[in-house]
Amino acid sequence: MSEREIFEDTSAERNPKRKEPKQISFRVSEPEFEKLKRSAESLQMSVPAFVKSKAQGAKIVTPKVDRAGAIEIAKQLRAIGNNINQMARATNTAELNPNLAANLTAELQKTQKELNQLWKNLT
């Protein structure tokens, strides 16, 4: 076996099979990197994934709510959902007079409108 054949055999073993085998490298200044890092973090992406998506022309939309805000919104929505479930359980287990049922229906419709408005603000 020649040296060339040995080299080709060993280089084939070292190169892992990758879905995307080509690599592009470039250098940026410290301020440029910090800007890329902040942008990537705001989108909850890694810097390489962010740069790749930008290079491919992807339209990246910054979320309207940061992570802490999203967690708080989810907490509030869970609380609203729990309240609605309690009202539904109460109406299903007890016989309500018509006035109370009408009030409950009005409150549920009001809650639904408020939730729809919140959803419009988030999207």
Query: 113 with 56: CB under 8 angstroms?
Result: no
The three state secondary structure string of the chain is CCHHHHHHHHHHHHCCCCCCCCCCCCCCCHHHHHHHHHHHHHCCCCHHHHHHHHHCCCCCCCCCCCHHHHHHHHHHHHHHHHHHHHHHHHHHHCCCCHHHHHHHHHHHHHHHHHHHHHHHHHC
Residue with more model confidence, 65 or 15: 65
- Tens-place pLDDT, residues 2-21: 666 666 655 555 666 778 88
- Residue 22: band (very low, low, confident or very high) from pLDDT cuts 50, 70, 90: confident
**Proportion of the chain above pLDDT 70, given as a percent:** 86
Predicted pLDDT of residue 42:
82
Note the pLDDT tens digit of each residue in 84-111.
888 778 777 777 777 887 888 888 888 8
Contact 50, 40 (CB under 8 A): yes
Q: pLDDT category, 37, cuts 50, 70, 90?
A: very high
Residue 32 has pLDDT above 90, yes or no: yes
